[in-house]
Structure 1
Amino acid sequence: MRSIRYRPLLWKLLGLMAFLLAAPTWAEETTTPAAKEESWDVIYLGDSRVGYARSTTMPVVRDGQKLIRSETEMHMVIKRFGQALKITMLETYEETADGDVVSFSMSMNNPPFSSMTSIGIRSGDQLDITTEIAGKKSHKKVAWDPEAKSPAYQQRLLEEQPLKPGETRTIKVFTSDSLQFSTVDITAIGEEKVKLLDGKLHNLMKVASTMTLPGGVKITSDSYLDKEGATLRTTLPMAGLTMSMFRVEKSAALKELAGDELDLGISTLVKVPRIKNAHQASKVVYSITMPGEDPAQFLIAGETQKIEKTTDPEVVTLSVTQAAKPKSGDSKTAAVDDDYTLPTPFLQSDDPTVAKHARLAVGDEQDAWKKALLLEQYVHQKLTKKNFSTAMASAAEVAANLEGDCTEHAVLLAAMARAAGIPSRIAAGLVYVDRLSSFGGHMWTEVYVAGHWIPLDATLGAGGIGGGHIKLSETSMADDAGAPITALLPMMTALAKIKIEVIDVEHAR
């Protein structure tokens, strides 16, 4: 039985992330072309066709060992605030017939920035991973979980051991986008009438899949199978929209896009009544509702965010308070974990151009807080080209090109802060957009000064933030913190369900 195909669908704020293959140097190989299987799907976001996917599976032999090679290739064009974001992905796994991963490779291609590549080679109980971003390679080892399988294994397992309606199977998988181990629960629901692209209703078997990532974030999808076991449709809720994949012939998949794609930036906004001077507010109190979920599990509690439960398990009260500014002479850099001070693959604080910008920004200033404010203003003023066609660039790339959206402002400021001796991390969540009277996906920076994490937003350049930011996640972007997409998944889930009501707004006198 050919069954559900699970491909992690990647996000960067209000856009999807995907990856393009950077093939490793392999040992001598032989293949059996006649046994190669290929399928094509078209990708829809809402009612708009945004791209296509191609999947292949074939047997290969590496150094005399028989393996299975699976590839997933995706091409998407997504509009964000009027600009086209073009993304290409090709992800490859090689594994044994039992699903034991031998190697993987993946990379992301999002012009005009360079591709991000990652290659993993299994060696006993270790996975050796090489990542290249902006031409710079980094290496790390991950302890291998002996129970983990490849994402493609569940498909073969269901072919050999089909599920009956009501039956559930759980497997552990390694995913190349997060470089972490996750659990997948697969349940056969039963037959349903499902509309396909021909406009007709078809009796198909519904199979529900839930992937639980480290930290408890869940990604759910539904697949619909015909009697031969072919997956004809897959749906995934995404930021208030639905991503769908339909099985088609190659010619239909490669058909040129009509150019009427929805604008993802606009479509995922969360409307609220206008908040007067939200970013200057000393405190804003919100009522947060998420149908079917406990909102508290998606929010970060801390010095600037307080969460209060209510009698309704789907509603919490969130108080967002402006951070207290350090007093002059009290803003020495405090000790903190190395994850927040050292260079990382995305925050290359040791990059010569990043370091140069940091020196130009702070000059002779020695006070840590004053340096942080100078850095925020510098990034805000230098990134004059607000480019929404980029998924996510590294700090080194942004330092060289000086363009991008909120993610590029955030990573450059974080890297420059570290270069200037100030610990930093990345925050992601929602920001109030006054001209649209809405909240939208956003990323900003936090610096550690005088023993406190203090938010800065180089996109706004206001010398800190007020009550108009709602934080959903935070990350050091260190090697062991997972890929950036891991920090962004709570925002993706929240945008799909969140309802925001403003209860009170306070301004300092």
Structure 2
Amino acid sequence: MILFNRNIGLQSRIHTALLFMLVLLSAGCAGRYFHDVSLPQASERYDLSSLPYTEYWSGIIFNGSKIGFSHFSIKPSRDLPGHYEIRSEAALHLRILMADKKVSMVSYDLVREDLSLKEFQYRYDMDGSRLEIYGSCDQEGVRVSKESNNNVSADIIEVASRVYPGSVVYLYPAVHGMEIGSRYSYDVFDSESQSIDTVRQKILAYQQSDLFEGSAFKMETQYFGQKMTSWIDASGKPLFEMALGGILLSGLESETEAKRYLLESSMNKDESLLDFCLIRTARPIEQPEKVTCLEVIISGIGDDFAMPCDAGQVCVRQGSDVHCTVRVNPPDEEVGRGAGHDRPVDEYLMSTYTVPCQDERIASKAAEITKDASTDLEKVESLLAWLKGNIRKEPVDVFTALDVLEGEKAECQGHAYLYTAFARSAGIPTRIVSGIVYAADFKGFLYHSWAESLIDGSWISIDPTTSQLPSDATHIKLIEGESMSSLVPMAGMIGKLGIEIVELK
């Protein structure tokens, strides 16, 4: 996600965007590079003990520049007969606005012979912040624990059937046999969002291409509302992947070739990710921070996506487009309507892993900051002033509000995390929202996160990154939520949205 704040220009939040970009695989310009060939006489079906490989490496290219690699390995477990250890790692490195962004992931999955998940352990590193996720699967469900910056939480996700790790989405068809027209459906535990979703796959064709050696099955996968297209051989090895109309590519490489990105990405000055995420408008907004009413027509939003509506934002679908009006000061008849008012207010006072408002470090600091405030509005003003003076605005990714408090720096989502944790600790119902905001320097909208607090009976939009109270009307809300899974619906919009400015005041 590319995030913006007007005090220092553009900030970046690439973690979610890149992870979701890597799953937004589409056929793109497939017809230009691929052609059908005859199927082998007999359909092969592999079990894990007969796989013709134990590991493979892939390089990741974005808009012609290498930005990362991934590595996959599988071997029998020494401790548990009939089980297999799948280890994966991935690393991304790119530059945006002259800042280096580094994201890495290391995963371990212990699976049974049918590929179902038994135990797992994942580690994510983003710009120095680390998140560890670990757990196991049993008859009661998926037991998940998360740990970051001494913040630990545990949960159980109930499931109705066996669950598989995301690392086996290519192996599953190979184990069950592949033929054109074959379909597969199974539940997968997604480590990024810590949730379960049903994966649906279909074999579309058997093809050859100049982009990879040999022949491969073309497979379409539906996962978390997105469609992925890949070309895999009969043993489940992904030979080639294409995303975003050919902008994002992944293909098999040697270990040396895959890791060559470390040098190439450090020398790469291309900022195509910014160009891809930017939503340009024909009509510029010269002083967005002063806009109190904005009327727009948004295209590219899926038919099944409902734009959030409340007192400050009213959206109506018009065919395939959505007409939205955002007001800083809504009319009296709109106050009290919309998202959040039909949900318990206590929900927005809860302590969560991302927003641990009951943690002693958060609670004591919030109490110190607001000790002289007598009203909720004064508390919010004190919190915004403290954030402005104590948290540096830097393109640094974080996992929780504690990461921001300890590191004393963050981009916009980190500012929203910490503000929300402080506000909830101070007794102010607050929620995190994400969407788009206008960036005057780039003459378009960029993805952003901010907050909404319930003050004197009304939900007020607040931007902790820019200290805006209330936020200007170029803040167009797409989703509400602080968890990674809440961002899933927005992933499919990146690179697809268009905005026409109808009126602004």
Q: What TM-score results when the alignment is normalised by the length of structure 2?
A: 0.81
**In structure 2, distance between residues paired with 1:48 and 1:254:** 13
Query: 2:55 — aligned with what?
Result: 38
Q: 1:120 aligned to 135, 139, 163, which one?
A: 135
- Contact preservation (8 Å) 1:102, 1:121: yes
Query: 1:157 — aligned with what?
Result: 172
**In structure 2, distance between residues paired with 1:195 and 1:407:** 42
- Contact preservation (8 Å) 2:15, 2:103: no
Q: Is the alpha carbon distance of 1:298 and 1:496 closer, same or farther for their aligned partners in structure 2, counting shifts above 3 Å?
A: farther
Task: Report whether the alignment pairs 1:425 with 2:435.
Answer: no
Q: Is the alpha carbon distance of 1:492 and 1:42 closer, same or farther for their aligned partners in structure 2, counting shifts above 3 Å?
A: same
- Contact preservation (8 Å) 2:230, 2:240: yes
Q: Is the alpha carbon distance of 1:154 and 1:394 closer, same or farther for their aligned partners in structure 2, counting shifts above 3 Å?
A: closer
- Contact preservation (8 Å) 1:125, 1:144: yes
Query: 1:29 — aligned with what?
Result: none
- Contact preservation (8 Å) 1:307, 1:318: yes
Q: 1:268 aligned to 277, 287, 309, which one?
A: 277
Q: 1:206 aligned to 218, 221, 245, which one?
A: 218
- Contact preservation (8 Å) 2:170, 2:238: no
Query: 2:226 — aligned with what?
Result: 219
**In structure 1, distance between residues paired with 2:402 and 2:218:** 45
**In structure 2, distance between residues paired with 1:283 and 1:192:** 53
* 1:422-501 equivalences in 2 (<5 Å): 422-475=428-481, 477=482, 484-501=483-500
Q: Is the alpha carbon distance of 1:459 and 1:498 closer, same or farther for their aligned partners in structure 2, counting shifts above 3 Å?
A: same
**In structure 2, distance between residues paired with 1:66 and 1:405:** 46
State the Cα distance separating 1:437 from its structure 2 match: 1.2
Q: Is the alpha carbon distance of 1:14 and 1:180 closer, same or farther for their aligned partners in structure 2, counting shifts above 3 Å?
A: closer
State the Cα distance separating 1:170 from its structure 2 match: 2.1
Q: 2:185 aligned to 167, 170, 193, which one?
A: 170
Q: Which moved more, 1:390-399 or 1:220-229?
A: 220-229
Q: Is the alpha carbon distance of 1:360 and 1:303 closer, same or farther for their aligned partners in structure 2, counting shifts above 3 Å?
A: same
Query: 2:327 — aligned with what?
Result: 321
SS in 1 for 2:127: coil
**In structure 2, distance between residues paired with 1:355 and 1:377:** 17
Q: How many residues are treated as equivalent by the alignment?
A: 452
Query: 2:253 — aligned with what?
Result: 248
- CA deviation digits over 1:476-509, x for unaligned, max 9? x4xxxxxx32222333322220000100113xxx
- Contact preservation (8 Å) 2:171, 2:235: no
Q: 1:365 aligned to 326, 350, 373, which one?
A: 373
Letter of the structure 2 residue corresponding to residue 487 of structure 1: S
Task: Report whether the alignment pairs 1:289 with 2:294.
Answer: no
- CA deviation digits over 1:405-438, x for unaligned, max 9? 1111111111110121112111111111112111
- CA deviation digits over 1:58-84, x for unaligned, max 9? 11154x552122122001112232211
Letter of the structure 2 residue corresponding to residue 103 of structure 1: E
Identity of aligned residues (%): 19
Q: Is the alpha carbon distance of 1:80 and 1:352 closer, same or farther for their aligned partners in structure 2, counting shifts above 3 Å?
A: farther
Letter of the structure 1 residue corresponding to residue 390 of structure 2: K
**In structure 2, distance between residues paired with 1:344 and 1:229:** 38
State the Cα distance separating 1:117 from its structure 2 match: 0.6
Q: Is the alpha carbon distance of 1:440 and 1:361 closer, same or farther for their aligned partners in structure 2, counting shifts above 3 Å?
A: same
* Unmatched 5+ stretches in structure 2: 1-12, 22-48, 333-340
- Contact preservation (8 Å) 2:20, 2:491: no
Q: Is the alpha carbon distance of 1:130 and 1:447 closer, same or farther for their aligned partners in structure 2, counting shifts above 3 Å?
A: same
- Contact preservation (8 Å) 1:353, 1:400: no
Query: 1:411 — aligned with what?
Result: 417
State the Cα distance separating 1:323 from its structure 2 match: 4.8
Letter of the structure 1 residue corresponding to residue 67 of structure 2: V
Task: Report whether the alignment pairs 1:401 with 2:401.
Answer: no
Query: 1:215 — aligned with what?
Result: none
Q: 1:53 aligned to 53, 67, 70, which one?
A: 70
Query: 2:116 — aligned with what?
Result: 100
Cα RMSD of the aligned pairs, angstroms, is: 3.0
Q: What TM-score results when the alignment is normalised by the length of structure 1?
A: 0.81
**In structure 1, distance between residues paired with 2:365 and 2:103:** 29
SS in 2 for 1:178: coil
**In structure 2, distance between residues paired with 1:44 and 1:351:** 41
Task: Report whether the alignment pairs 1:230 with 2:237.
Answer: yes
Letter of the structure 2 residue corresponding to residue 428 of structure 1: S
Q: Is the alpha carbon distance of 1:14 and 1:68 closer, same or farther for their aligned partners in structure 2, counting shifts above 3 Å?
A: closer
State the Cα distance separating 1:195 from its structure 2 match: 4.5
- Contact preservation (8 Å) 1:39, 1:247: yes
- CA deviation digits over 1:310-359, x for unaligned, max 9? 2x3x2121111225599xxxxxxx99444421322221223444334423
Q: Is the alpha carbon distance of 1:155 and 1:462 closer, same or farther for their aligned partners in structure 2, counting shifts above 3 Å?
A: closer
* 1:327-406 equivalences in 2 (<5 Å): 336-383=344-391, 385-388=392-395, 390-406=396-412
* 1:70-85 equivalences in 2 (<5 Å): 70-85=86-101
- Contact preservation (8 Å) 1:189, 1:207: yes
- Contact preservation (8 Å) 2:170, 2:232: no
- Contact preservation (8 Å) 2:424, 2:430: yes
State the Cα distance separating 1:267 from its structure 2 match: 4.0
Letter of the structure 1 residue corresponding to residue 496 of structure 2: K
- CA deviation digits over 1:54-112, x for unaligned, max 9? 001111154x5521221220011122322111111012211211233211111211233
* 1:299-318 equivalences in 2 (<5 Å): 299-310=307-318, 312=319, 314-318=320-324
- CA deviation digits over 1:367-413, x for unaligned, max 9? 11231232223213322x3221x232421121122211111111111
Query: 1:189 — aligned with what?
Result: 204
- Contact preservation (8 Å) 1:195, 1:202: no
SS in 1 for 2:184: strand
State the Cα distance separating 1:284 from its structure 2 match: 0.7
**In structure 1, distance between residues paired with 2:400 and 2:75:** 34
State the Cα distance separating 1:469 from its structure 2 match: 1.0
SS in 1 for 2:494: helix
- CA deviation digits over 1:114-160, x for unaligned, max 9? x1111112243233222111122222222233243333444333223
Q: Is the alpha carbon distance of 1:406 and 1:208 closer, same or farther for their aligned partners in structure 2, counting shifts above 3 Å?
A: same
- Contact preservation (8 Å) 2:15, 2:126: no
- Contact preservation (8 Å) 1:336, 1:423: no
Q: Is the alpha carbon distance of 1:228 and 1:352 closer, same or farther for their aligned partners in structure 2, counting shifts above 3 Å?
A: closer
